[in-house]
Amino acid sequence: MLLAASALKGYAVEAQDGAIGTVKDLQFDDRTWQIRWLVVDTGRWLTERKVLLHPSAIGKIDYGAQTLRVALSRQQVQGSPALSSDLPVSRQHESDLYGYYGWSPLWGGDLYGSELAGAGFGPSRYFGNKELYDDLGLGNHGDSGDPHLRSVSEVKGYHVHATDGDIGHVDNLMIDDGSWGIRYLVLDTSNWWMGKQVLMSPYAVSEISWSQEKVYLDVTRERVKASPAWDPAAMINDIYEKRLHEHYGWSGYGW
């Protein structure tokens, strides 16, 4: 199932023996488009302390109750390496978390499959690649922030450019709740195309300029206009996704 990243903010996080806090943000790797961390605000329980939880710790998502249930105890979370209030997260802190909880930095690495050929900025070059551990810099236990770790909140509002001009801005990100990979960027076409929203795969992203807050795509404006219409109020199903991917020539997701 696909869910909007914005909808996850504020979700309660429940350990096996009680409440932990609420989701404040999501951190993703800008090379793999994989959610790497959930930033959880523990509120009064740990005196406003924020903790990072890996998606692999999530056992169940209760959409009705807007709650994430994790396979951890409160004591485990309380004893986890303390997160500095200064983001981005350091490689040292990530390494400490992987060691403390026993999580794997390669979790979710086979989301798209290593057999999918891809070039440029898209995700396929990293998925299923066992060199990812080294690429993530986890062998370097430095205190510097990971330059590839980005906030979902940060990218919202970034201007989006096709090969032949501006088409709008990033309004949201759609996440696969099984793999915790970012499946689509939701683009608001603003004044260019009557404000319609369209879905764009990370496969189409050729570059992101974080300093200029811009996302560049390898598709034309006309290609976007001719894409299958998307109803934001409707559930995204396999039929629509297949049409969308066929239109752009993107690889599928296990179809």
Domain boundary residue among 82, 106, 140?
Answer: 82
In total, the chain counts a number of residues equal to 255
The answer, yes or no, to whether residue 211 has pLDDT greater than 80, is: yes
Amino acid 82: pLDDT:
82
Domain boundary residue among 29, 61, 82?
Answer: 82
Check which CATH number belongs to the domain holding 172 and give it: 2.30.30.240
Amino acid 226: pLDDT:
94
Q: Would you say residue 146 lies in a domain?
A: no
Number of domains present in the structure of the chain: 2
Give dist(CA 251, CA 115) in Å, integer: 11
Q: Would you say residue 138 lies in a domain?
A: no
Domain boundary residue among 64, 82, 100?
Answer: 82
Q: How many CB atoms lie within 10 A of CB 241?
A: 20
Q: Would you say residue 22 lies in a domain?
A: yes
The answer, yes or no, to whether residue 131 has pLDDT greater than 90, is: no
Q: Would you say residue 58 lies in a domain?
A: yes
Please state the rounded mean pLDDT for residues 225-253: 92
Q: Taking CA 136 as the corner, what is the angle to CA 204 and CA 60, rounded to the nearest 5 degrees?
A: 75
Q: Would you say residue 90 lies in a domain?
A: no
Q: Would you say residue 255 lies in a domain?
A: no
Looking up tokens 């810099």 gives 137
Amino acid 246: pLDDT:
96
3 state DSSP class of 239: helix
Strand spans (E) along 8-119: 12-15, 18-29, 34-41, 50-53, 58-62, 67-70
Range of 21's domain? Answer: 2-82
Strands 18-29 and 12-15: antiparallel
Give dist(CA 110, CA 104) in Å, integer: 13
Q: Would you say residue 101 lies in a domain?
A: no
Give the chain's mean pLDDT: 86
Amino acid 48: pLDDT:
77
Strand spans (E) along 54-116: 58-62, 67-70
Please state the rounded mean pLDDT for residues 57-73: 96
Backbone angles phi, psi at 206, to 5 degrees: -95, -25
The answer, yes or no, to whether residue 69 has pLDDT greater than 80, is: yes
3 state DSSP class of 30: coil
Amino acid 133: pLDDT:
47
Give dist(CA 89, CA 86) in Å, integer: 7
Q: How many alpha carbons lie under 13 Å from residue 87 in its C-beta half-sphere?
A: 17
